[in-house]
Protein backbone atom coordinates (compact mmCIF):
# COMPACT_ATOMS: atom_id res chain seq x y z
CA UNK A 1 0.00 0.00 0.00
CA UNK A 2 1.47 3.35 -0.93
CA UNK A 3 0.80 6.48 1.05
CA UNK A 4 0.98 10.06 -0.16
CA UNK A 5 4.24 10.47 1.80
CA UNK A 6 6.04 7.58 0.13
CA UNK A 7 8.20 9.72 -2.13
CA UNK A 8 9.07 12.33 0.44
CA UNK A 9 9.82 9.67 3.07
CA UNK A 10 11.95 7.60 0.73
CA UNK A 11 14.02 10.69 0.02
CA UNK A 12 14.38 11.26 3.76
CA UNK A 13 15.46 7.63 4.26
CA UNK A 14 18.12 7.92 1.56
CA UNK A 15 19.33 11.21 3.05
CA UNK A 16 19.62 9.71 6.56
CA UNK A 17 21.50 6.72 5.11
CA UNK A 18 24.01 8.93 3.29
CA UNK A 19 24.67 10.94 6.45
CA UNK A 20 25.20 7.82 8.53
CA UNK A 21 27.54 6.26 5.98
CA UNK A 22 29.60 9.44 5.87
CA UNK A 23 29.92 9.54 9.67
CA UNK A 24 30.76 5.81 10.02
CA UNK A 25 32.61 4.90 6.81
CA UNK A 26 34.27 1.75 8.16
CA UNK A 27 31.46 0.33 10.31
CA UNK A 28 29.28 -2.66 9.49
CA UNK A 29 26.00 -0.78 9.34
CA UNK A 30 23.96 -3.74 8.09
CA UNK A 31 23.18 -5.08 11.55
CA UNK A 32 21.40 -3.40 14.41
CA UNK A 33 23.68 -4.65 17.17
CA UNK A 34 26.74 -6.77 16.56
CA UNK A 35 28.73 -8.25 19.46
CA UNK A 36 32.40 -7.33 19.90
CA UNK A 37 34.86 -9.87 21.30
CA UNK A 38 37.83 -7.76 22.24
CA UNK A 39 39.00 -9.39 25.46
CA UNK A 40 39.66 -12.81 26.93
CA UNK A 41 36.67 -14.58 25.35
CA UNK A 42 38.78 -17.20 23.55
CA UNK A 43 41.00 -17.81 26.56
CA UNK A 44 38.10 -18.44 28.97
CA UNK A 45 35.98 -20.54 26.63
CA UNK A 46 39.06 -22.63 25.74
CA UNK A 47 39.57 -23.30 29.44
CA UNK A 48 36.05 -24.76 29.55
CA UNK A 49 36.70 -27.02 26.60
CA UNK A 50 40.10 -28.16 27.84
CA UNK A 51 38.73 -28.94 31.31
CA UNK A 52 35.57 -30.61 29.96
CA UNK A 53 33.34 -28.33 32.07
CA UNK A 54 31.15 -26.82 29.38
CA UNK A 55 27.73 -27.50 30.85
CA UNK A 56 25.86 -27.10 34.12
CA UNK A 57 28.85 -27.53 36.41
CA UNK A 58 31.95 -25.31 36.47
CA UNK A 59 33.74 -22.37 37.97
CA UNK A 60 32.76 -19.70 35.45
CA UNK A 61 29.09 -19.69 36.44
CA UNK A 62 30.03 -18.83 40.04
CA UNK A 63 32.61 -16.32 38.85
CA UNK A 64 30.09 -14.68 36.51
CA UNK A 65 27.53 -14.42 39.31
CA UNK A 66 30.15 -12.91 41.63
CA UNK A 67 31.24 -10.37 39.01
CA UNK A 68 27.62 -9.40 38.49
CA UNK A 69 26.91 -9.24 42.20
CA UNK A 70 29.86 -6.88 42.57
CA UNK A 71 28.30 -4.59 39.93
CA UNK A 72 24.86 -4.77 41.56
CA UNK A 73 25.75 -3.53 45.04
CA UNK A 74 26.44 -7.01 46.39
CA UNK A 75 22.97 -8.31 45.61
CA UNK A 76 22.37 -12.01 45.02
CA UNK A 77 22.57 -13.09 41.39
CA UNK A 78 21.24 -16.23 39.69
CA UNK A 79 22.59 -16.80 36.17
CA UNK A 80 20.11 -18.33 33.71
CA UNK A 81 20.07 -19.64 30.16
CA UNK A 82 18.02 -16.71 28.77
CA UNK A 83 16.73 -13.32 29.83
CA UNK A 84 13.21 -14.63 29.39
CA UNK A 85 13.77 -17.39 31.95
CA UNK A 86 15.33 -14.82 34.31
CA UNK A 87 12.17 -12.73 33.99
CA UNK A 88 9.99 -15.81 34.56
CA UNK A 89 11.90 -16.59 37.75
CA UNK A 90 11.78 -12.95 38.90
CA UNK A 91 8.00 -12.96 38.52
CA UNK A 92 7.75 -16.17 40.53
CA UNK A 93 9.96 -14.54 43.16
CA UNK A 94 7.58 -11.57 43.22
CA UNK A 95 4.70 -13.94 43.98
CA UNK A 96 2.93 -13.88 40.62
CA UNK A 97 0.54 -16.85 40.44
CA UNK A 98 -1.69 -18.52 37.88
CA UNK A 99 -4.72 -16.43 36.93
CA UNK A 100 -3.22 -13.13 38.15
CA UNK A 101 -2.78 -10.01 36.05
CA UNK A 102 0.59 -8.28 35.84
CA UNK A 103 0.94 -4.65 34.77
CA UNK A 104 3.50 -4.22 31.98
CA UNK A 105 4.10 -1.73 29.16
CA UNK A 106 3.03 -2.67 25.62
CA UNK A 107 6.16 -0.99 24.23
CA UNK A 108 8.66 -3.72 24.96
CA UNK A 109 10.13 -6.89 23.52
CA UNK A 110 7.57 -9.71 23.48
CA UNK A 111 9.51 -11.64 26.14
CA UNK A 112 8.16 -9.35 28.88
CA UNK A 113 4.61 -10.53 28.16
CA UNK A 114 5.66 -14.12 27.45
CA UNK A 115 7.26 -14.39 30.88
CA UNK A 116 3.96 -13.29 32.43
CA UNK A 117 2.19 -16.02 30.44
CA UNK A 118 4.78 -18.55 31.58
CA UNK A 119 3.47 -17.92 35.12
CA UNK A 120 -0.05 -18.64 33.88
CA UNK A 121 -0.81 -14.94 34.39
CA UNK A 122 -2.23 -12.32 32.04
CA UNK A 123 -0.41 -9.19 30.87
CA UNK A 124 -2.26 -5.95 31.59
CA UNK A 125 -0.87 -3.12 29.47
CA UNK A 126 -0.36 0.46 30.65
CA UNK A 127 0.94 3.35 28.55
CA UNK A 128 4.39 4.91 28.66
CA UNK A 129 5.83 8.41 28.97
CA UNK A 130 7.22 9.72 25.71
CA UNK A 131 10.50 11.00 27.23
CA UNK A 132 11.99 7.73 28.54
CA UNK A 133 9.51 5.40 26.78
CA UNK A 134 8.99 3.59 30.11
CA UNK A 135 5.78 3.22 32.19
CA UNK A 136 4.24 6.61 32.95
CA UNK A 137 3.99 6.95 36.74
CA UNK A 138 1.27 9.58 36.73
CA UNK A 139 -0.89 7.71 34.27
CA UNK A 140 -0.32 4.52 36.26
CA UNK A 141 -1.53 6.23 39.41
CA UNK A 142 -4.73 7.49 37.77
CA UNK A 143 -5.36 4.23 35.96
CA UNK A 144 -4.86 1.95 38.97
CA UNK A 145 -7.19 4.24 40.94
CA UNK A 146 -9.88 3.59 38.32
CA UNK A 147 -9.51 -0.13 37.70
CA UNK A 148 -8.57 -1.63 41.06
CA UNK A 149 -10.58 -2.55 44.09
CA UNK A 150 -9.29 -3.87 47.38
CA UNK A 151 -10.66 -7.25 48.42
CA UNK A 152 -9.44 -9.87 50.83
CA UNK A 153 -6.36 -11.38 49.25
CA UNK A 154 -5.19 -8.24 47.49
CA UNK A 155 -5.99 -5.78 44.73
CA UNK A 156 -8.42 -6.91 42.04
CA UNK A 157 -9.29 -5.68 38.57
CA UNK A 158 -12.91 -4.51 38.90
CA UNK A 159 -13.76 -5.56 35.36
CA UNK A 160 -12.13 -8.96 35.06
CA UNK A 161 -12.29 -9.96 38.71
CA UNK A 162 -8.68 -11.13 38.56
CA UNK A 163 -6.05 -10.35 41.17
CA UNK A 164 -3.39 -7.87 40.05
CA UNK A 165 -0.17 -9.06 41.67
CA UNK A 166 2.84 -7.15 40.30
CA UNK A 167 4.12 -4.34 38.09
CA UNK A 168 6.99 -4.79 35.63
CA UNK A 169 8.90 -1.72 34.55
CA UNK A 170 11.10 -1.94 31.43
CA UNK A 171 14.21 0.20 31.05
CA UNK A 172 13.82 0.60 27.32
CA UNK A 173 16.94 0.83 25.13
CA UNK A 174 19.02 1.24 28.32
CA UNK A 175 17.35 4.44 29.52
CA UNK A 176 16.33 4.37 33.15
CA UNK A 177 12.61 4.27 33.86
CA UNK A 178 11.18 6.59 36.55
CA UNK A 179 11.41 3.84 39.17
CA UNK A 180 11.12 6.06 42.26
CA UNK A 181 7.92 7.69 40.99
CA UNK A 182 6.53 4.29 40.05
CA UNK A 183 7.41 2.88 43.48
CA UNK A 184 5.53 5.79 45.07
CA UNK A 185 2.48 4.64 43.12
CA UNK A 186 2.84 0.88 43.65
CA UNK A 187 3.84 0.84 47.36
CA UNK A 188 0.43 1.77 48.82
CA UNK A 189 -1.09 -1.13 46.86
CA UNK A 190 1.57 -3.51 48.13
CA UNK A 191 2.59 -4.47 44.58
CA UNK A 192 6.09 -5.79 44.13
CA UNK A 193 7.94 -4.01 41.32
CA UNK A 194 10.03 -6.15 38.98
CA UNK A 195 12.58 -4.45 36.74
CA UNK A 196 13.04 -5.79 33.23
CA UNK A 197 16.59 -4.51 32.94
CA UNK A 198 17.41 -6.80 30.01
CA UNK A 199 18.56 -3.85 27.92
CA UNK A 200 20.08 -1.76 30.69
CA UNK A 201 23.12 -3.67 31.95
CA UNK A 202 25.67 -0.97 32.79
CA UNK A 203 23.12 1.86 33.02
CA UNK A 204 22.66 3.98 36.13
CA UNK A 205 19.50 5.29 37.79
CA UNK A 206 20.76 8.44 39.50
CA UNK A 207 24.06 7.01 40.73
CA UNK A 208 22.95 3.42 41.32
CA UNK A 209 22.99 0.48 38.89
CA UNK A 210 19.69 0.09 37.05
CA UNK A 211 18.07 -3.01 38.50
CA UNK A 212 18.70 -2.22 42.17
CA UNK A 213 15.75 0.08 42.82
CA UNK A 214 13.28 -2.75 43.35
CA UNK A 215 13.50 -6.18 44.94
CA UNK A 216 13.99 -8.14 41.73
CA UNK A 217 15.44 -7.43 38.29
CA UNK A 218 16.02 -9.53 35.18
CA UNK A 219 19.02 -9.08 32.86
CA UNK A 220 19.66 -10.51 29.40
CA UNK A 221 22.93 -11.56 27.79
CA UNK A 222 21.48 -12.52 24.43
CA UNK A 223 23.72 -12.04 21.40
CA UNK A 224 22.34 -8.59 20.62
CA UNK A 225 22.60 -7.11 24.12
CA UNK A 226 25.43 -4.85 25.33
CA UNK A 227 27.35 -7.83 26.74
CA UNK A 228 26.61 -11.36 25.64
CA UNK A 229 27.02 -14.93 26.84
CA UNK A 230 25.72 -16.22 23.50
CA UNK A 231 22.37 -16.71 25.16
CA UNK A 232 21.76 -16.02 28.81
CA UNK A 233 20.29 -13.95 31.55
CA UNK A 234 20.35 -13.34 35.29
CA UNK A 235 18.07 -12.49 38.16
CA UNK A 236 19.31 -9.81 40.55
CA UNK A 237 17.60 -10.16 43.93
CA UNK A 238 17.67 -7.99 47.02
CA UNK A 239 16.60 -10.88 49.25
CA UNK A 240 19.19 -13.68 49.40
CA UNK A 241 16.60 -16.28 50.42
CA UNK A 242 14.47 -15.47 47.37
CA UNK A 243 17.59 -15.85 45.20
CA UNK A 244 18.26 -19.26 46.76
CA UNK A 245 14.73 -20.41 45.94
CA UNK A 246 15.03 -19.14 42.35
CA UNK A 247 18.39 -20.84 41.92
CA UNK A 248 16.83 -24.06 43.21
CA UNK A 249 13.95 -23.71 40.74
CA UNK A 250 16.41 -23.01 37.92
CA UNK A 251 18.20 -26.31 38.54
CA UNK A 252 15.11 -28.60 38.34
CA UNK A 253 14.60 -28.15 42.10
CA UNK A 254 17.00 -31.01 42.75
CA UNK A 255 18.15 -31.47 46.35
CA UNK A 256 21.96 -31.69 46.47
CA UNK A 257 23.04 -35.30 47.00
CA UNK A 258 25.99 -37.36 45.70
CA UNK A 259 23.76 -39.77 43.79
CA UNK A 260 20.09 -39.48 44.65
CA UNK A 261 17.59 -37.76 42.34
CA UNK A 262 15.17 -35.97 44.60
CA UNK A 263 13.26 -32.93 43.35
CA UNK A 264 10.95 -31.20 45.81
CA UNK A 265 9.17 -28.72 43.47
CA UNK A 266 8.19 -28.52 39.80
CA UNK A 267 11.38 -26.81 38.66
CA UNK A 268 12.95 -25.65 35.41
CA UNK A 269 16.11 -26.30 33.47
CA UNK A 270 17.12 -22.64 33.43
CA UNK A 271 20.73 -22.71 34.65
CA UNK A 272 23.37 -20.94 32.58
CA UNK A 273 25.94 -23.39 31.13
CA UNK A 274 29.57 -22.89 32.14
CA UNK A 275 30.79 -22.16 28.60
CA UNK A 276 28.29 -19.33 28.27
CA UNK A 277 29.36 -17.95 31.64
CA UNK A 278 33.00 -18.06 30.48
CA UNK A 279 32.09 -15.85 27.54
CA UNK A 280 30.16 -13.64 29.93
CA UNK A 281 33.11 -13.19 32.32
CA UNK A 282 35.26 -11.96 29.44
CA UNK A 283 32.51 -9.66 28.20
CA UNK A 284 31.76 -8.18 31.63
CA UNK A 285 35.42 -7.18 31.95
CA UNK A 286 34.77 -4.86 29.00
CA UNK A 287 31.35 -3.56 30.03
CA UNK A 288 32.57 -0.13 31.15
CA UNK A 289 34.45 0.48 27.93
CA UNK A 290 31.45 -0.76 25.93
CA UNK A 291 29.19 1.71 27.76
CA UNK A 292 31.62 4.54 26.98
CA UNK A 293 31.78 3.55 23.31
CA UNK A 294 28.01 3.37 23.03
CA UNK A 295 27.58 6.67 24.83
CA UNK A 296 29.97 8.28 22.36
CA UNK A 297 27.75 7.06 19.52
CA UNK A 298 24.88 9.34 20.43
CA UNK A 299 27.13 12.37 19.91
CA UNK A 300 28.27 11.00 16.56
CA UNK A 301 24.67 10.47 15.46
CA UNK A 302 23.82 13.98 16.65
CA UNK A 303 26.55 15.34 14.37
CA UNK A 304 25.60 13.07 11.48
CA UNK A 305 21.89 13.90 11.61
CA UNK A 306 22.14 17.47 12.91
CA UNK A 307 20.98 19.11 9.70
CA UNK A 308 18.42 16.46 8.73
CA UNK A 309 14.93 17.87 9.19
CA UNK A 310 11.96 15.80 10.42
CA UNK A 311 14.22 13.68 12.61
CA UNK A 312 14.68 13.89 16.37
CA UNK A 313 17.45 11.99 18.16
CA UNK A 314 16.40 10.43 21.49
CA UNK A 315 18.73 11.19 24.40
CA UNK A 316 18.84 9.82 27.94
CA UNK A 317 16.54 11.12 30.69
CA UNK A 318 18.42 13.33 33.14
CA UNK A 319 17.70 11.01 36.08
CA UNK A 320 20.19 8.43 34.89
CA UNK A 321 23.16 7.46 32.81
CA UNK A 322 22.13 5.26 29.91
CA UNK A 323 24.17 2.48 28.34
CA UNK A 324 22.52 3.58 25.07
CA UNK A 325 21.87 -0.02 24.12
CA UNK A 326 19.99 1.10 21.02
CA UNK A 327 20.26 4.51 19.37
CA UNK A 328 16.85 5.89 18.52
CA UNK A 329 15.37 8.53 16.25
CA UNK A 330 11.79 9.75 16.01
CA UNK A 331 10.35 10.85 12.70
CA UNK A 332 8.07 13.80 12.28
CA UNK A 333 4.41 12.71 12.19
CA UNK A 334 4.18 13.74 8.53
CA UNK A 335 6.65 11.00 7.54
CA UNK A 336 5.79 7.46 6.54
CA UNK A 337 7.80 5.03 8.68
CA UNK A 338 7.76 1.97 6.38
CA UNK A 339 9.01 4.11 3.47
CA UNK A 340 11.90 5.51 5.52
CA UNK A 341 12.79 2.01 6.78
CA UNK A 342 12.59 0.62 3.25
CA UNK A 343 14.96 3.27 1.94
CA UNK A 344 17.40 2.72 4.83
CA UNK A 345 17.47 -1.01 4.13
CA UNK A 346 18.03 -0.45 0.41
CA UNK A 347 21.07 1.57 1.41
CA UNK A 348 22.35 -1.24 3.65
CA UNK A 349 21.45 0.32 6.99
CA UNK A 350 20.09 -2.34 9.37
CA UNK A 351 17.57 -0.03 11.00
CA UNK A 352 14.51 -1.38 12.84
CA UNK A 353 11.15 -0.06 14.03
CA UNK A 354 9.94 -0.38 17.60
CA UNK A 355 8.71 -3.90 18.40
CA UNK A 356 5.10 -4.23 17.34
CA UNK A 357 3.22 -2.97 20.43
CA UNK A 358 2.22 -6.10 22.30
CA UNK A 359 -1.53 -5.40 22.32
CA UNK A 360 -1.34 -5.56 18.51
CA UNK A 361 -0.09 -9.15 18.53
CA UNK A 362 -2.78 -11.84 18.11
CA UNK A 363 -2.17 -13.63 21.41
CA UNK A 364 -2.23 -10.43 23.46
CA UNK A 365 -4.85 -8.33 21.67
CA UNK A 366 -7.60 -9.19 24.14
CA UNK A 367 -5.57 -8.46 27.26
CA UNK A 368 -6.78 -5.68 29.58
CA UNK A 369 -5.18 -2.31 28.93
CA UNK A 370 -5.23 1.42 29.50
CA UNK A 371 -5.42 3.73 26.51
CA UNK A 372 -2.10 3.26 24.73
CA UNK A 373 -1.87 6.47 22.73
CA UNK A 374 1.79 7.25 23.44
CA UNK A 375 2.84 3.67 22.68
CA UNK A 376 0.94 3.67 19.38
CA UNK A 377 2.21 7.09 18.36
CA UNK A 378 5.83 6.16 19.10
CA UNK A 379 5.49 2.91 17.19
CA UNK A 380 4.58 4.94 14.11
CA UNK A 381 7.60 7.24 14.45
CA UNK A 382 10.45 5.29 16.03
CA UNK A 383 13.56 3.91 14.35
CA UNK A 384 16.51 2.19 16.00
CA UNK A 385 19.82 2.74 14.22
CA UNK A 386 22.93 0.51 14.16
CA UNK A 387 24.20 0.68 17.74
CA UNK A 388 26.87 -1.96 18.33
CA UNK A 389 30.15 -1.08 20.01
CA UNK A 390 31.84 -1.83 16.69
CA UNK A 391 30.06 1.10 15.02
CA UNK A 392 31.80 3.50 17.41
CA UNK A 393 35.35 2.27 16.79
C1 LIG B 1 16.18 -9.12 25.30
C2 LIG B 1 15.02 -8.83 26.17
C3 LIG B 1 14.42 -9.80 27.00
C4 LIG B 1 14.70 -11.27 26.98
O5 LIG B 1 15.92 -11.68 26.83
P6 LIG B 1 16.34 -13.04 26.08
O7 LIG B 1 17.69 -13.24 26.65
O8 LIG B 1 16.33 -12.76 24.62
O9 LIG B 1 15.39 -14.11 26.48
C10 LIG B 1 13.41 -9.40 27.86
N11 LIG B 1 12.97 -8.14 27.87
C12 LIG B 1 13.50 -7.19 27.09
C13 LIG B 1 12.97 -5.80 27.20
C14 LIG B 1 14.53 -7.51 26.20
O15 LIG B 1 15.02 -6.56 25.39
Percent of the chain with pLDDT strictly greater than 90 = 95
Quote the CA–CA distance of 384 and 107 in Å, as a whole number: 14
Task: Report the nearest atom of ligand 1 relative to the CA of 108.
Answer: 13
Residue 75 C-alpha from the chain's centroid: 19
> Ligand 1 pocket, 233 CB below 6 A?
yes
Beta strands in the chain (DSSP E): 76-80, 101-105, 122-126, 148-151, 154-157, 163-170, 193-196, 204-205, 208-209, 216-220, 233-237, 311-313, 320-321, 327-331, 352-353, 382-385
> Ligand 1 pocket, 322 CB below 6 A?
no
pLDDT reported for residue 2: 56
Q: 3-class SS at 244? A: helix
The mean pLDDT value for 156-169 works out to 98
Quote the CA–CA distance of 315 and 295 in Å, as a whole number: 10
Q: Atom 13 of ligand 1 has which residue's CA nearest to it?
A: 109
> Ligand 1 pocket, 115 CB below 6 A?
no
> Ligand 1 pocket, 198 CB below 6 A?
yes
pLDDT reported for residue 57: 79
Which residue, among 125, 118, 108, 110, has the nearest Cα to 88 in the 3D structure?
A: 118
pLDDT digits over 354-364, tens only? Answer: 999 999 999 99
pLDDT digits over 301-351, tens only? Answer: 999 999 999 999 999 999 999 999 999 999 999 999 999 999 999 999 999
β 233-237/311-313 pair status: unpaired
Query: How many angstroms is it from 196 CA to the middle of ligand 1?
Result: 8
pLDDT digits over 125-136, tens only? Answer: 999 999 999 999
**Residue 267 pLDDT grade (very low, low, confident, very high; cuts 50, 70, 90):** very high
Is residue 77's pLDDT more than 90? yes
> Ligand 1 pocket, 85 CB below 6 A?
no
Computed on alpha carbons and rounded to an integer, the radius of gyration of the chain in Å comes to 21
Query: How many angstroms is it from 357 CA to the middle of ligand 1?
Result: 15
Query: How many angstroms is it from 368 CA to the middle of ligand 1?
Result: 22
pLDDT reported for residue 3: 64
> Ligand 1 pocket, 196 CB below 6 A?
yes
pLDDT reported for residue 392: 84
> Ligand 1 pocket, 174 CB below 6 A?
no
Any idea how long the chain is? 393
Is residue 4's pLDDT more than 90? no
pLDDT digits over 198-253, tens only? Answer: 999 999 999 999 999 999 999 999 999 999 999 999 999 999 999 999 999 999 99
Report the chain's mean pLDDT, rounded to a whole number.
96
pLDDT reported for residue 53: 82
pLDDT digits over 273-309, tens only? Answer: 999 999 999 999 999 999 999 999 999 999 999 999 9
Task: Report the nearest atom of ligand 1 relative to the CA of 85.
Answer: 9
Amino acid sequence: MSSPNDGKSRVLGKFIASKIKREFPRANLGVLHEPVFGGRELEYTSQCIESGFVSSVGQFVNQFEEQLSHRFEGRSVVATNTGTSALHLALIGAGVAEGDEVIIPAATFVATANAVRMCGAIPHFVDIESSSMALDAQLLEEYLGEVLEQRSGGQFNKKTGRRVSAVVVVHLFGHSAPVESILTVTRPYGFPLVEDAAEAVGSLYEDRPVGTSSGLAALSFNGNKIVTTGGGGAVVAEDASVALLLKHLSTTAKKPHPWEYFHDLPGFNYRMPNINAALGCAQLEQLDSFVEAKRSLVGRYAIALGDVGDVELVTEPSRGRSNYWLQTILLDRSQDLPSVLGALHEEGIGARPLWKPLHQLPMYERCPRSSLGVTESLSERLINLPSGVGVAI
